[in-house]
Structure 1
């Protein structure tokens, strides 16, 4: 494993400095957030993902949420399915969002199902075509596919419960721990691992093998849904009844661990990968299993994460152990090119662990890492004058976590709403922290719009102040 911060000791900031940053952030919550809630976890989490929107209400929307729990071995590791009540914009009061206890659970997060997982859940990815299907990575060569609706709830019997995935994807020759991606348009799964391979599967490929098997009752993928024959009340499944799928293709080009992969938003045959060899590679399955384009030394350290812009497929983001985020334009990339990024975003104080483009604005993205911060950037602001002397492009910094931010996810159905998790077991009662939040729209809206709205409510604001 590279400098990812999950297996090796992270760079430690002085406790007094961390506390000062956190307390300053906490005092500003009513000013900079439209909604915020803090959910203490009994065990640390390495991944969180929003699922589908379940229900719309007057003041809140009900949203599916997935996260993991990494235990100490006394209890099994778990994949958690929860429902989250997301408060609508301009509804939460300042007093409400600023009052929370770091060691308490949020009233907005309701655990629906706990699925016992074989090994810790390093990554969770949901299938865009089917909201009940998720894929997970653990410390093994396999990728696990789960039908979360069909799986039993083991929440009250974790000590002796056992669950089995509904489908196992095989092909890696060594552990594949973090690099995992789902295709938007096809039932394709992409993975990378310590074997230096990028592996592609289609989960529909198991259907033909099932039709030739006498055990077709075990699992069927019909009309895009996994239909597993779980017996009533069952909590385990013989391994022989769990179908496996062989890969469509294996792609060779990295010379060290592959840390992250991502599909092109407009093409299921195109994807990218990054790794501990500091390379960014673009692939095209239509022309073979060798790199279509390889950027050597895209960073000065291991590259931990990559994302592809859903609005402009020429733009990609990478985050590295060198503490920087880079944006690449594939029209300007050349094989063997060094330092061919469009811009380097620098403000993290330690390794960057995850990056993701915002689904609500094409130029905005987030980055998070071992320095406890989740930064929000707008590359359209690079080059613009900034009277506050902020790093180019940076316009918001979420400082609510007490330790490294290991994962975050923008919600596609709740504009500008983010879920983030941190491994801060040393700071919050031995567990981890899940935070759900949305910055104030005054921060990202055009200045002229904000000033015009403030002018319309000036009398109410002045009245409140005088009162």
Structure 2
């Protein structure tokens, strides 16, 4: 059944995936749910207490924070290109999704975001936000009606106006977000037409999606237990004889005009894979490219495995770590500043750090460290683009933890007493439910966008937050102490003046 037929048939019940199922809005009014709400009241009170404590510390912990209430949960959030730089703030694209209950179509949202520069926002200003309101810093720019819910969004590094999306289908959809027409998401509206469709999976591919930093390559994993590799350049070469077309990296040359939503066709031109890779024994949950090679990549899945691949030597694993975690592995990221280091996050609540130099072809090799600071399944891990030892992890416990592996000393590896987990130096607790995705901003250092699905805990849709911790937290200690001493001297001198 295609997306248009599904819409005509009425609302479709959402799948249960990693705790990400939104509660249909019409059900929230049903009397039979009141009892369940009462049972959750004690748990919600604990969440509210933690949130209230966090909010009181916002002026101290953050250099800037914007809270944006979403009507519908977003399962993915990504920074797009920077559009404009100004004295006090920069304007930048932001890619989001709207995962609805079927009363209106699912959408891919392109927003414009005002990112306030460091040390500009006043402390009292960043703490004064209304949880139920939309932030003035985030404005919707364009809506694309997506054929199915948007489970993943990834931008093409060679041209960040082009994004790939995963939905509940075997295909990967490619969108030129600037060329796509703006659509009004109303029930019965036909879906927008993808600029390109990447085919090759034999079953749904919902979450595992990555785009290569060095070439216009796309990587995907799915329920068919395979990892599939495509090149967008293959479509450009096949669809045009114009030599100038191939000189624009990451561009998409269409076979026909994009659908404007008034025609019935939702299919775009298709591209077959360059390679299909076999080695997992269960659903592939996430994939990542080696930052320095378009031919090397890795994948993780529900078989608890971490697999490293090399397209130059065939379709079998180069290295297979059989027991990377003690449960399903949900996420993986390859360090962009040190391509020996790979992070994984799992339903066993832990994040593990692997050094590929320690792994052998037989899959022998243990993680060089286990980070244990979450109390629920880890959904997303990502290295910080500004410091090679720093990374973030978000989980179903509602927390987004920021870690620094350099802070894990030998003494800290055997902690005594109720101390913070080794390496954990910041905890973003602004979300009141599972943090399903986050993304470091490569254009604005130490700035993060994060989204949570707040249907169950707050009765709302979702929450988007854009935030930057105070630089006193992550800068070198001696540098911070020197600045504070200078400030102290300034205060003393001012106080001594008549």
TM-score (norm 1): 0.92
User: Aligned-pair distance for 1:389?
Assistant: 2.3
> 2:450 aligned with 1:450, yes or no?
no
Aligned equivalent of 2:466, options 418, 432, 436: 436
Assess if the C-alpha contact under 8 Å between 1:179 and 1:191 holds in 2. yes
- Quote the residue 1:362 is aligned against: 388
- Quote the residue 1:277 is aligned against: 303
Q: How does 1:215-364 map to 2 (within 5 A)?
A: 224-228=250-254, 234-239=260-265, 242-337=268-363, 340-364=366-390
Aligned equivalent of 2:109, options 80, 83, 88: 80
Structure number with the higher helix fraction is 2
User: Aligned-pair distance for 1:237?
Assistant: 4.9
User: Aligned-pair distance for 1:355?
Assistant: 0.2
Q: Secondary structure at the match of 1:360?
A: coil
Q: Secondary structure at the match of 1:403?
A: coil
The range that moved more, 248-257 or 457-466, is 457-466
Cα separation, 2, equivalents of 1:319 and 1:465: 51
Cα separation, 1, equivalents of 2:355 and 2:258: 52
Aligned equivalent of 2:423, options 384, 393, 396: 393
Question: Residue 393 and residue 370 in structure 1: after superposition, are their counterparts in 2 closer, same or farther (change >3 A)?
Answer: same
- Quote the residue 2:11 is aligned against: none
Cα separation, 2, equivalents of 1:55 and 1:357: 26
Assess if the C-alpha contact under 8 Å between 2:111 and 2:139 holds in 1. yes
- 1:301-360 per-position Cα deviation (integer Å, ceiling 9, x unaligned): 000000001111110000000000000001111345466100000010000000000000
Cα separation, 2, equivalents of 1:70 and 1:282: 32
- Quote the residue 2:218 is aligned against: 189
- Quote the residue 1:4 is aligned against: 18
Cα separation, 2, equivalents of 1:39 and 1:166: 30
Question: Residue 240 and residue 78 in structure 1: after superposition, are their counterparts in 2 closer, same or farther (change >3 A)?
Answer: closer
> 2:403 aligned with 1:403, yes or no?
no
- Quote the residue 1:168 is aligned against: 197
Question: Residue 3 and residue 121 in structure 1: after superposition, are their counterparts in 2 closer, same or farther (change >3 A)?
Answer: closer
The range that moved more, 436-445 or 377-386, is 377-386
Assess if the C-alpha contact under 8 Å between 1:102 and 1:428 holds in 2. no
Question: Residue 338 and residue 13 in structure 1: after superposition, are their counterparts in 2 closer, same or farther (change >3 A)?
Answer: farther
Question: Residue 210 and residue 232 in structure 1: after superposition, are their counterparts in 2 closer, same or farther (change >3 A)?
Answer: closer
> 2:122 aligned with 1:93, yes or no?
yes
Unaligned runs of 5+ in 2: 1-14, 24-39
- Quote the residue 2:139 is aligned against: 110
Q: Secondary structure at the match of 2:236?
A: helix
Assess if the C-alpha contact under 8 Å between 1:130 and 1:225 holds in 2. yes
Q: Secondary structure at the match of 1:272?
A: strand
- Quote the residue 1:33 is aligned against: 62
- Quote the residue 1:179 is aligned against: 208
Q: Secondary structure at the match of 2:150?
A: coil
Assess if the C-alpha contact under 8 Å between 2:380 and 2:393 holds in 1. yes
Question: Residue 339 and residue 208 in structure 1: after superposition, are their counterparts in 2 closer, same or farther (change >3 A)?
Answer: closer
User: Aligned-pair distance for 1:428?
Assistant: 4.2
The range that moved more, 148-157 or 437-446, is 148-157
Question: Residue 156 and residue 135 in structure 1: after superposition, are their counterparts in 2 closer, same or farther (change >3 A)?
Answer: closer
RMSD: 2.7
User: Aligned-pair distance for 1:13?
Assistant: 8.8
Assess if the C-alpha contact under 8 Å between 1:204 and 1:221 holds in 2. no
Q: How does 1:16-31 map to 2 (within 5 A)?
A: 16-31=45-60
Cα separation, 2, equivalents of 1:208 and 1:28: 55
- Quote the residue 2:168 is aligned against: 139
Q: Secondary structure at the match of 1:426?
A: helix
Assess if the C-alpha contact under 8 Å between 1:207 and 1:221 holds in 2. no
Cα separation, 1, equivalents of 2:138 and 2:205: 30
The range that moved more, 220-229 or 98-107, is 220-229
User: Aligned-pair distance for 1:223?
Assistant: 5.1
Aligned equivalent of 1:149, options 170, 178, 185: 178
User: Aligned-pair distance for 1:254?
Assistant: 0.1
Q: Secondary structure at the match of 1:286?
A: helix
Q: Secondary structure at the match of 1:106?
A: coil
Question: Residue 2 and residue 190 in structure 1: after superposition, are their counterparts in 2 closer, same or farther (change >3 A)?
Answer: farther
Question: Residue 240 and residue 390 in structure 1: after superposition, are their counterparts in 2 closer, same or farther (change >3 A)?
Answer: closer
Question: Residue 465 and residue 135 in structure 1: after superposition, are their counterparts in 2 closer, same or farther (change >3 A)?
Answer: farther
Assess if the C-alpha contact under 8 Å between 1:164 and 1:237 holds in 2. no
Structure number with the higher strand fraction is 1
User: Aligned-pair distance for 1:225?
Assistant: 1.8
User: Aligned-pair distance for 1:464?
Assistant: 10
User: Aligned-pair distance for 1:17?
Assistant: 2.0
Q: Secondary structure at the match of 1:449?
A: helix
Assess if the C-alpha contact under 8 Å between 2:378 and 2:394 holds in 1. yes
The range that moved more, 190-199 or 219-228, is 219-228
Assess if the C-alpha contact under 8 Å between 2:194 and 2:258 holds in 1. no
Cα separation, 2, equivalents of 1:221 and 1:240: 28
